[in-house]
Amino acid sequence: MTQPQNDQQQDQRPAGAADGNAQHDSYKKSQSSASTASASISESSLSGCEDLATCTLPYKKVDFDQIEVYEFPYILGDNPAVSSGAPIALGTELLHYESMGLEVYEYSRSKEKKQSSSSSSGGSRTRGMMLPVQKRAQLLLDQGYSIETIASATLEADNISKGRNISASKTKWDGVNEMSERFGRFFRRSVGRRHSALGSSTMVPTKHDDMASSGPMKQSIAANSA
């Protein structure tokens, strides 16, 4: 009597659960087949290799098709790691999206590199990628920032940069002073040990020894005078 009830309960399962189990079983099957295929590939590629050190694995190739370019606006930044002027950063609002082929992207990048190299007049690549103070200020003005806001951000960045330089110099001299103190302690200890070793090796005569040693000399002098 209990067996039909179990069969009825199994038949009353929701269709979603059955589909989920079927998907899970199919995922297991695909995963096992993929692992079996990879194992068979590895075994077939390594079957002819007697030494693993000299065995060569199958060649793998990666191709790039499309380049996606996302454009964001310039905003006033808070990073004081600038030589001078106000720092800038990228905002979170997406302005423009563009997708292009790899060949088109490389062609446009080559033209930009030629223009930047000609304008930098023999400067380094990193210096050519830096934005001058005037260009940064113009970009911020175009985004709607006022001159007072840009000047305030410039002064704040300068103050933070000066404070970092002062703390860095203090840390440097603190390390030098610590090393000198360690060397001084080591030198004093070595000199003290040397003096203690010399003091233990030399014998200082006492007063009783002086009197005992001077006794026979006095007797010999008296005998000669007699």
Q: What is the pLDDT of residues 34-50, one digit of tens each?
A: 444 444 444 445 455 55
Return the pLDDT at 61. Answer: 82
| Measured CA distances, 26 to 29, 30, 39 (Å) | 5, 6, 20
pTM of the model: 0.43
Residue extents of the structural domains in the chain: 66-160
Q: What is the pLDDT of residues 51-87, one digit of tens each?
A: 556 666 677 788 888 899 999 999 999 888 888 889 9
Q: What is the pLDDT of residues 153-194, one digit of tens each?
A: 999 988 888 888 787 777 766 666 677 777 677 767 777 676
Quick check: 79 and 89 in contact, CB under 8 A? yes
Distance CA 223, CA 132 (A): 108
